[in-house]
C-alpha cells in the first residue's frame, strides 16, 4: 500500500480497468481473454502483462483450457482481488472527500 492507501498493483491505469471490469462480474464468474481484451481495447500482449502482475498478487486466476482443439483462457477475480478492489475504492473515495488518513 502507498501512503494514500491506494494499492499500487491496482492503481496503474490499465490494471485498474481490468480489475474494475472483473469486479462488475458476479463472484465466481469468468470472462474469456478475448472478450476482456475487446472490452478494454487492449492488445493481447499488454493485457497479458497486466494480468501477470495481478496474478502474481493473487488478485486474478487464469484458467487455461481447450475448447475442442483450440486453447481458451478465462479470467476471474479472486476473493482477495475483490477485497483489494473494495479497499482501493474505499481509499480513493476517502482521498477524494478529503477524509483519508
pLDDT at residue 2 is higher than 60: no
Q: What is the pLDDT of residue 99?
A: 80
Helix (H) / strand (E) containing 31: strand 31-32
Q: What is the pLDDT of residue 5?
A: 74
Domains and their CATH numbers in the chain: 8-95 (1.10.10.10)
Q: What is the pLDDT of residue 100?
A: 67
Give Cα 53 distance to the centre of its chain: 9
User: Tens digit of pLDDT for each residue in 6-58?
Assistant: 999 999 999 999 999 999 999 999 999 999 999 999 999 999 999 999 999 99
User: Tens digit of pLDDT for each residue in 51-95?
Assistant: 999 999 999 999 999 999 999 999 999 999 999 999 999 999 998
- What 8-state DSSP symbol labels residue 59? S
Amino acid at each position: 500500500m502507498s501512503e494514500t492507501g491506494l494499492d499500487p498493483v491496482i492503481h496503474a491505469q490499465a490494471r485498474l480497468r481490468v480489475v474494475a471490469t472483473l469486479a462488475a462480474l458476479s463472484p465466481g464468474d469468468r470472462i474469456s481473454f478475448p472478450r476482456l481484451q475487446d472490452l478494454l481495447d487492449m492488445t493481447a500482449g499488454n493485457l497479458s502483462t497486466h494480468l501477470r502482475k495481478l496474478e502474481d498478487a493473487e488478485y486474478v486466476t487464469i484458467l487455461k483450457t481447450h475448447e475442442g482443439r483450440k486453447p481458451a483462457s478465462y479470467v476471474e477475480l479472486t476473493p482477495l482481488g475483490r477485497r483489494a478492489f473494495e479497499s482501493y475504492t474505499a481509499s480513493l473515495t476517502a482521498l477524494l472527500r478529503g477524509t483519508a488518513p
